[in-house]
Every structure is written in structure tokens, then in C-alpha cells.
Structure 1
Amino acid sequence: MTADTAVVVGGSTGIGRGVADAWAARGIETHVFSRSRPAGPGADRLVWHRLDFRDAERAREALRSGLPSRVGLVCYSAVYFTARREPFLETDDTDWTDQFAINVHGLAWTLKATLPALRAAAPGLFLHISSEVVYNAGPNRSGYAATKAAASSLVQSVTQETDPSQVRLVQALPAGMVDTPGIRARRSQDFDYSGYMAPATFAPLAAELARSRGAAEHGEALVVHADGSWTPVGDGAPASQSRPLANSPR
């Protein structure tokens, strides 16, 4: 059965927006919790709630007060990475704590806020947008690697605590770099994005998960490829997106 209400945390841009648009296109009432209001084509189909996990108390209140009474689908795609890659010893303390606030704590608060509603809509689905850095780490991205690995492990742990007849938990990650506003903020104006994936590449998986509620994917981490197909990470981890130290931009 397709859920009639969905929540996407971090759904105003990027992969989260690709998921939100895919669910809204199926006629699902889709609520987006994010720092910025969704804009552009399809934004009028999304119900926006302002949320910034860097303000912990207001973020938790936004989740408490803004969640619909019934939720069958949830996607957590909120993410923070620094403006540039840099060595661990040069990492700014604020950037470090913001990565944990959004990539880890925000995920935990969202799970706590939404799991009861997902159980009530059994079977509910929780989709977490993961990253290849969980499997590859890499130089000059210590905060991102640490927080995304922690987030992935958190979801794996919760999965083992959860009855799949009530809630299915699935993780998905792109096989390559994705063209998003956050990435564009780190690139030069003349950068060529033709080899990058688009957020809409996640739409086929989002649509299938809305249809099946992840019946066959519970506990899986799925690598989404540029053609919109997906494979379990156990079939082969995605290539590392780290750059050799000598070529890493500062």
C-alpha cells in the first residue's frame, strides 16, 4: 500500500529533493523539513517546515509540532559538509560540531520523532541517505567520514531493534558525485558537472520504496547508479570520491 503522507528531512535541494519530488509526484502528501524553502518546479506540491539542527531545541520542537498525524514514509537527507576539504588538524571547531549536529544528532532526533508514527502506519518506511565515505573514508574529510559512518551504524543498530512488519529501514547512497547546491558552492563557476549524477536519479528507487514499503530491502544499503538502477552495497562498494593529497584543493 502506498502511504498518503511522507516526511523528507533535508528535502529542499539535492538528493532529498529528488526523493520528495518523486513521492509528491505519486500523489503523496509530502512534508519537507529544511533550512531553506523548496523552490523551482514542483515546490508547490511540498509542505515546508523550517528546521535547522544547529539550533537543537528549536529543531526538536519543529519535529514535535510539525509532523503530520499520520506518517508512512520518512527520508532523512539532511547533510552538512565543510566549505572545503582540509586536514583534520585544520578543521574548524564549529564545522566539526555542525557536522555532528546535522549528520548524526539530527538523524537520531528524526528517528525518535518518526518511528512511533511509522509503527502506527505499519509497515512504515525509513530511508536514510548515506555516502560512499562510510566505506572509503579518505584524506581531508575526517568530519564527514566520521559522521556519515556514525549515522550508518546508528541506522544499522536501529534496524536490528525493529520488527520489519512494523517499520522497514533502508539506506541509499549515490555511486558517484551528485550535482547539488552544496557541491556547487565548493566548485569554481566554470566547473563541468556533466559527469555528475542528478538528484532525480533517486526518483525510481523512491517510487519503488513508496510502492513496496521496502519489503525486500529492509536492512540493506543500496548503491544508486547514474542510470537510476540500484544494487546492494554488498555486491560492490562504490568508488571512493577522495582525491590524492597532492591534488586535493585547499
Structure 2
Amino acid sequence: MSTPDRTPATAVVIGGSTGIGRGIADAWAAHGIETHVFSRSRPAGPGGDRLVWHPTDLRDSEQARKSLRSGLPDRIDLACYSAVYFTSRREPFTATTEADWLDQFAVNVHGLSWTLRAALPALRAAAPGLFLHVSSEVVYNAGPHRSGYAATKAAADSLIRSVAQEIDPADVRFVQTLPAGMVDTPGIRARRPAGFDYGDYMTPASFAPLAVELARTRGTGYAGEALVVHEDASWSSVSRNLPVSQSRPVADVGV
């Protein structure tokens, strides 16, 4: 049985100024949803003027929690957590600085927990509210030179799945999504050499159809799922096919 089309009034996207979060925020705003973005940088380019921006630096716990407390709207029908911190490059665990290690936990794990605590009351009031978390294939594959990223994304995945078991899906439905391959984002471009060919990379817009579907259905039929989005903008459940690892071989075994 299909679910009636319901247009949510308000959405929030944490980490929605660029990348996958921006693709989701743009999709929701384009469908008439009042969309608030919490991020370090102001959403720029086409569609940026449709987004309500709240300056938020998740590496600064006091500022981030204050921004969430004061900026989250009273009504939240949809929430998406897409904020992520990797590092400037892939490197062995022993070469990762303590600052980078702590920043990965601050953004990838603690920021998610602050968002859940702040947004869940309003999402419950929307009944059913939808919480969408942008995950990663590294949760299922781990990989060399990505230890901090792998550890924090796995922790975030476990947090979402655990909280989802505490809350009636009639109140809030939790869905996770992740790309099937590499996505062309400013963060990725900052780690690639000049002249790199992004022709086979996905784009954030690939997530728009899923975002619209989840907004329309409030996650009906998808609660508890982790959905892999493919280059053609289709999606499938990780329960059917695990995502392919994006790790690169370690050239020097002694590293």
C-alpha cells in the first residue's frame, strides 16, 4: 500500500553547505520544504538563497551546541546529519595527529549525538519524523590509512542503530544512506592533485531522488535501512549487497 504524499513543513541538515548534505538540502528546498543548514560555510551557488543558514563549527563543542539550541526550529519534520571530518590526506594511524583524531570524533560522532539530543523532541512531535544519517562504505570495509574515519563512522552507525531501537518508528524513523562510489565534493577536491579527472565520480545531486522519496513517505518502508545510492540515482539496501571498498592498496607494507 502506498503512503499518501505529505509535504513536511521544516527540515534541518547538519553539514549541508556542500557535498552530499547539500544535495539533500537542495532537493528538500526545491520541493517547498523550509530547509535549515548548520555548517561552517554559507551555502553558495545556485539554490543557496533557498537555505536558511546557521553558522556552526562542530569542532567547537560549546559553539556548536549553542547554535543547535538557538537555531533549530520549533517544528522539525526531517533531519539529516551529513557533517563529516576526514583529514587532509590518507595516512597511517601512527602518523595521524591527535588534533585530527579528536576532530574526527568531534564532527563524526559527538556532533551527531548533539544533533540527536537537540532534534529528537521536535521529530517525535512531528510523528513520524525522519532522521537521515549519511554513512560510509568504510563502516563495512574498514581500510588502511583511514583508521580515524573508519572508527568514527562505525561508531556513528552503531549510535544510529542503537537509538533507532529505543524509539518507536511511529514517532521517528531512522534511515542511513551512503554512496556506492567516490563523490565529487569540495573536500575530495582538496585532497586531489590539479588536473584530476572526476569523470567517473558521483555527484551530490545523485542523492536528490532518495531525499525526495524519504520526504514524501517519511521513511515508510525504509525504517532501519542503510541505503546505497548509485551513480544513476537509484538505491539498494546494504542487506542485499554490501558496498564496494574505496580503500587503496598500501604500496609500502612496512608503513
Normalising by structure 1, report the TM-score.
0.98
Deviation at 1:247, TM superposition (A): 7.8
Determine the structure 1 residue equivalent to 2:177: 172
Structure 1 residue matching 2:69: 3-state secondary structure: helix
Determine the structure 1 residue equivalent to 2:236: 231
1:66 aligns with 2:71: yes
Distance 1:70 1:77 in 2: 20
Unaligned runs of 5+ in 2: 1-5
Q: How does 1:99-178 map to 2 (within 5 A)?
A: 99-178=104-183
The residue type paired with residue 105 of structure 2 is: F
Deviation at 1:69, TM superposition (A): 1.2
Alignment match of 1:182 (pick from 163, 174, 187): 187
* Seq. identity, %: 73
Determine the structure 2 residue equivalent to 1:206: 211
Alignment match of 1:77 (pick from 79, 82, 85): 82
Structure 2 residue matching 1:246: 3-state secondary structure: coil
Structure 2 residue matching 1:215: 3-state secondary structure: coil
The residue type paired with residue 236 of structure 2 is: T
**Count of residue pairs brought into register by the alignment:** 249
Unaligned runs of 5+ in 1: none
Deviations 1:113-158 (A, max 9, x none): 0010000011100000000000000000000000000000000000
Alignment match of 2:223 (pick from 213, 218, 223): 218
Determine the structure 2 residue equivalent to 1:52: 57
CA gap of 1:247–1:20, structure 2 versus 1, over 3 A, is farther
Distance 1:186 1:47 in 2: 29
Distance 2:97 2:63 in 1: 24
Normalising by structure 2, report the TM-score.
0.96
The residue type paired with residue 228 of structure 1 is: A
The residue type paired with residue 62 of structure 1 is: S
Structure 2 residue matching 1:59: 3-state secondary structure: helix
What stretches of structure 1 move > 6 A for 4+ residues in a row? none
Determine the structure 1 residue equivalent to 2:92: 87
The residue type paired with residue 28 of structure 2 is: W
Structure 1 residue matching 2:16: 3-state secondary structure: coil
What value does the CA root-mean-square deviation take over the aligned residues?
1.1
The residue type paired with residue 170 of structure 2 is: S
The residue type paired with residue 130 of structure 2 is: L
Distance 1:132 1:142 in 2: 13
Deviations 1:196-242 (A, max 9, x none): 00000000000000000001000000000000000010111111000
Structure 1 residue matching 2:239: 3-state secondary structure: helix
